[in-house]
Amino acid sequence: MIEVRGLTKRYGSTVAVGGLDFDVRPGVVTGFLGPNGSGKSTTMRMIIGLDRPDAGTAHINGTPYHRLAWPLREVGALLEARTFHPGRSAENHLAALAAGNGIPRARVRAVLDTVGLSDVAARRAGGFSLGMSQRLGIAAALLGDPPVLLFDEPVNGLDPEGVRWLRGLVTSLAAEGRTVLLSSHLISEMALTADRLIVIGRGALLADSSVAELTREGRSLEEAFFELTGDSAEYRGNDHAQHRRTR
């Protein structure tokens, strides 16, 4: 269970996240949707204590992240693709993290096997493709076998097989009763994976409901998303053809 209350983050005069309130419940996959720059990553970084909120709290099963006794055994997080030193092997990277939280060494082999990196475990991780880096990040998230998991854009760089594998992984983690928060801007992916959705735009909550509710009356999730975020897209491209006509 993740409880976010009044979470706020400012960068100078820009409000990245403004007074966000939501719960992420166990047993279901909760999707975290929003346009680029809407504050998804900042919110997730605050949940695991990388960024300090200017106001508000984020609690994990009742405790703020920095007070957890064994953080990796309680929360697993994939926040960015490359969160390892390029000169270190995947195995040593995970072994160091395991040692830091008293996680049995056998878990390193187990999670490498889960994400399919066993064969390259001894290689310098700097040579990994984006997809392999994502898999290593997922392995690190699973290392402590945590009841709460956060994945920020996990399908980036994964091949179609990997995308399908991840979908199965995320669904089964939730089915085991874990709390899963999954961010993506791929709406089609969300439609396939998520049970509930939290939609934010410009750092504010736009919707917190089930996928079924958002797509009632035959509306597609994409249509629902654009209706919700219509006014809050930070960066918007322009129609290419229209652009040519006006020249």
What residues make contact with other proteins under the rule CB under 8 A? 45, 48-52, 65-66, 68-73, 75, 77, 79-80, 82-89, 92-93, 95-97, 99-104, 107, 110-111, 113-114, 140, 142, 144-145, 168-169, 172-173, 176
User: Whose Cβ is closer to other proteins: residue 88's or residue 232's?
Assistant: 88
Min CB(103)–other proteins separation in Å:
6
Cα 1 from Cα 123, distance rounded (Å): 36
User: Whose Cβ is closer to other proteins: residue 49's or residue 131's?
Assistant: 49
- Closest C-alpha to 152, from 75, 228, 88: 75
Min CB(33)–other proteins separation in Å:
23
- Closest C-alpha to 149, from 131, 125, 176: 176
Phi and psi at 143, nearest 5°, equal -50, -50
Cβ(22)–Cβ(179) below 8 Å = no
Per DSSP, 87 falls in state T
User: Whose Cβ is closer to other proteins: residue 153's or residue 224's?
Assistant: 153
Beta-carbon contacts of 129 under 8 Å, excluding residues fewer than 6 positions away, are 157
Min CB(79)–other proteins separation in Å:
6
Alpha-carbon radius of gyration of the chain: 19
Min CB(190)–other proteins separation in Å:
22
User: Whose Cβ is closer to other proteins: residue 95's or residue 163's?
Assistant: 95
Question: Edge-to-edge strands of the sheet including 63-64?
Answer: 14-24, 2-11, 55-60, 63-64
User: Whose Cβ is closer to other proteins: residue 24's or residue 149's?
Assistant: 149
User: Whose Cβ is closer to other proteins: residue 75's or residue 200's?
Assistant: 75
Min CB(57)–other proteins separation in Å:
15
- Number of helices (H) and strands (E), helices first, in the chain? 10, 10
Min CB(69)–other proteins separation in Å:
4
Strand ranges for the chain from DSSP E: 2-11, 14-24, 29-33, 55-60, 63-64, 75-78, 148-152, 179-183, 196-201, 204-210
